[in-house]
Amino acid sequence: MPTSDKSTPRTVKVWDLPTRLFHWLLVIGIFAMWFTADILDRLGLHMTIGYALIGLIVFRLVWGIIGSDTARFSHFVHHPRHIIAYIKGAHKGIWLGHNPLGALSVLAMIISILVQLGTGLFANDQIYNEGPFSGYVSENTQDFLTYIHDVNFNILLGLIALHLLAIAFYQFKKHEPLVQAMITGKRALKPDETVQNPNLHFAGWLAFVIATIIGVGVWYLVSYRAPMVAGWLGLH
Residue ranges per structural domain of the chain: 11-232
Looking at residue 12, its pLDDT comes to 86
Q: What is the pLDDT of residues 199-212, one digit of tens each?
A: 887 778 889 999 99
3-state secondary structure of 191: coil
Work out the pLDDT band at 72, boundaries 50, 70, 90. Answer: very high
DSSP calls for 57-75:
HHHHHHHHHHS-GGGSHHH
Confidence of residue 10 (pLDDT cuts 50, 70, 90): confident
Q: What's the pLDDT band for 81 if we cut at 50, 70, 90?
A: confident
Query: Residue 8's pLDDT is what?
Result: 47
Q: In terms of pLDDT, which residue wins out, 224 or 187? A: 187
Interatomic CA distance for residues 218 and 215, integer angstroms: 5
> Is it the case that residue 107 has pLDDT exceeding 90?
yes
Share of the chain above pLDDT 70, in %: 87
- Asked whether the predicted pLDDT for residue 5 surpasses 60, the reply is no
What distance in Å separates the CA atoms of residue 25 and residue 46, rounded to the nearest whole number?
15
CATH code of domain 11-232? 1.20.950
pLDDT of residue 84: 86
| Better-predicted residue by pLDDT, 57 or 96 | 57
Calpha distance 14→71 (Å, rounded)? 9
What's the pTM? 0.87
